[in-house]
Structure 1
């Protein structure tokens, strides 16, 4: 098994006042030639948006965009006519395809909203733009991994145009679980939302990222109670 460790304090950072954003990979004003992507995982932004603020309408094309709210209420509006609010427990996906314009803003005037913005390069170009969201019960991922995304519309979670699988899990201390790669040749990017974990000989902590490849499976062990992790399996 091969790994690459990205410590939380090594991420790109941009604080615009209304937006405080940490970039695991090169994005906007942050450019690191050694951190362009992990396979088709192109963007992993850890965003905090101030009350009443947000991203104005802007376009995307030929990208799969996933939003995972961590706290607060995020209001979405796009050129397909969809308007929705997503919050912790929800997973949002948007296939930009031939082109879509959307805006994201904090639905609260007073409370911050925190969310992960993830971009995955698709395996199909110029598809029809698409939006979807689901609500999951966080209790279903206690001491186990819950699938939240796959390449298949009738599988658990949302789906995207790529051979990718995402899982979330919340674990108590000393609980160990195993993950098996779904497609040979894929890699995993593990991102710790809270707490700490042991994967192989690597100990990873809050907001650390660990790229994993060259293996069919691996074990992860929580090192403290209520530790949360996101696993993103993607083609390399």
Structure 2
């Protein structure tokens, strides 16, 4: 079964729109497996998001336009955005601040809150320098539970991205493991799924055990999640945890 989530299911009236993906398919959990929450911020330049805490969240900062100076309680100061991605493993406790840089360009991307495999892990910050801003017409693995990926989640979570150019067709990559649940998110552009389901910016589908074909109606930036809903996770994170 394929479940579509419309942009109307986002929360928030300011520059950060918040999606609890489980709310669309469950009455008991705001997340889906380890996928706790997805934020889609569009923040103007010269904005400061002041120092604030995270506890038991693993946060992937996936910004496609604009830049921000990140500083945190672990002592890291680094400019992120574009080809520079960041994974913050909050563990027991972690504080960070972002200063949106530049004069005109809006900073837009995703902040993805993944549930950790266990409670109170050691805090850690990891940066990933991509070779190219986009992976055109090919899935790129951003993070996984496996040590060969620079972004390693403590839960059974996989995240891919791809820019599917207009007129091209593509399928979902081979599953890392069987019995995984998937979420396909449209960050920019629009696509048609299985020739029948239209998806545009800030829309997604959730599916399991389905054959999925993606056709690009226009250039489309896609983010794909896999999660093992039976895997060990901690659902009490400050932002990634179950809000019900």
Report the TM-score range of the alignment, normalised by the length of the smaller protein. 0.7 to 0.9
Q: How far apart are residue 44 of structure 1 and its match?
A: 0.4
Q: Measure, in 1, the Cα distance between the counterparts of 2:133 and 2:107.
A: 22
The answer to whether the 8 A contact 2:64-2:82 is kept is yes
Q: 1:138 aligns with which of 132, 143, 146?
A: 132
Choose which of 198, 202, 215 in structure 1 pairs with 2:197: 202
Equivalent residues in 2 for 1:25-174, closer than 5 Å: 25=20, 36-138=30-132, 141-155=135-149, 157-172=150-165, 173-174=167-168
The answer as to whether partners of 2:61 and 2:110 remain within 8 angstroms in 1 is yes
Q: Distance in 1 between matches of 2:206 and 2:212?
A: 14
Deviation at 1:35? Answer: 7.6
Contact 2:65–2:105 (Cα < 8 Å) also in 1? no
Residues 115/202 of structure 1: CA separation in 2 closer, same or farther (3 Å cut): same
- Rounded to whole Å, the distance in 1 between the matches of 2:50 and 2:162 is 32
5+ residue gaps, structure 1, are 27-31
CA shift at 1:229, angstroms?
0.6
1:209–1:178: structure 2 CA closer, same or farther, 3 Å change rule? closer
- Aligned equivalents of 2:215, 2:45: Cα separation in 1: 33
Partner residue in 2 for 1:12: 11
Equivalent position SS for 1:180: coil
Structure 1 position 112, deviation (Å): 2.1
Per-residue displacement from partner, 1:141-190 (whole Å, max 9, x unpaired)? 211101011112323x4111111111111112132233222122321111
Per the TM alignment, residue 226 of structure 1 is displaced from its structure 2 partner at its CA by 2.0
RMSD (CA atoms): 2.1
Q: TM-score, normalised by structure 1?
A: 0.86
Partner SS state of residue 214, structure 2: strand
Contact 1:180 1:218 in 2 (8 A): no
- Pair 34,50 (structure 1): closer, same or farther in 2 beyond 3 Å: farther
Unpaired segments of 5 or more residues in structure 2? Answer: 230-244
Structure possessing the higher relative contact order (Cα contacts under 8 Å, 6 or more residues apart): 2
Report the structure, 1 or 2, having the larger strand content.
1
In the alignment, the residues of structure 1 paired with residue 114 and residue 17 of structure 2 have an alpha-carbon distance, to the nearest angstrom, of 17
Q: Offset of 1:40 from its aligned partner? A: 1.8
Measure, in 2, the Cα distance between the counterparts of 1:53 and 1:123: 33
2:206 corresponds to which residue? 211
How many equivalent pairs are there?
A: 223
Moved segments of 4+, more than 6 Å: none
Residue of structure 2 in register with 1:190 after alignment: 184
Using structure 2 for the length normalisation, give the TM-score.
Answer: 0.83
